[in-house]
Amino acid sequence: MSSYSAQKIQTYQQENENRARLLIRCPDQPGIVSAVSKFLHEHGANIVTSDQYTLDPEGGQFFMRIEFDCPALMKRKEELEEAFLPIAETFAMHWEIRYVQEIKKMAIFVSNEPHCLLELLWEWQSGDLMADISLVISNHETSREIVESHGIPFYYIPANKDIRAQVEQQQKELLKQYDVDLVVLARYMQILTPDFVEDYKDRLINIHHSFLPAFIGAKPYERAFQRGVKMIGATSHYVTNELDEGPIIEQDIGRVDHRDNAAAMKKIGQSIERSVLSRAVKWHLDDRIIVNGNKTIVF
């Protein structure tokens, strides 16, 4: 890691040493907001932002994200979490308190096209993507020089479907070694096994070069050109074992016309891919996403 990036992270941690985010998903009923607000007030916390959403108010699901400051927070983590348990049980909550000072460790997987990787590195280098990029893993050597110039370890692991189990074992060992929290597939063109996906459930983000659900699978730009589309797009989503059908985090589009061939569409699409993946990763790092089945609530 470069000294500039390390300084950015250190400053961010110092500025947020007493800040946390409370994420909640539970059956909707009266009194949830009041109970949570009262709890935070009684423990000396100041609410900075609060977002809530009810999916189908008639017996539906309630979602909430609260960001708060609390004095001596890191020393009181266990105390706060234990004290919150009775409220969580009363409302049958799925909940988690995430501490902003605890910077998430991220691994990036990439193949031969580096445009999404480069976007993430630029955002990280500028301090706008707050994570510890612990390592980059690739089945091509293309990106080694640029990755190592940022002080990030680069691992070249050739991969194909015939040696998938062996490759994933090497990858898992590296992810465990670096204690990785999040894996980002920045145009990593290999299908992962169900075991790998399960190990990183809701912590494995992919960018698909298509406005899903259109053109699932390989060569979407070629198929979009053949179909004569007037808009192309990109989709970032959590990976599941159903190919390109995991919970969608972010999408965007760009206009094309009859003058654009498949190569021109791909060039336009790559620009969209970069921004869509970057936003999705930032939202995950900022704890803005709650997964609900095969959908996401993004605050």
Question: Is 128 one of the annotated active-site residues of the chain?
Answer: no
Write the DSSP symbol of residue 62.
Answer: E
Q: What is the three-class DSSP state of 190?
A: coil
Q: Per the residue annotation, which of 244, 260, 286, 287 is the catalytic one?
A: 244
Torsion over CA of 164, 165, 168 and 173, rounded to 10 degrees?
-150
Close Cβ partners of 149 (under 8 Å, ≥ 6 residues apart) = none
What type of residue sits at position 59?
Answer: G
Tokens of 83: 């004290």
Contact in structure between 273 and 254 (CB atoms under 8 Å): no
Tokens of 65: 């994200």
Contact in structure between 208 and 243 (CB atoms under 8 Å): no
* H or E segment and range at residue 217: none
CA distance 79 to 284: 26
Residues belonging to the active site: 244
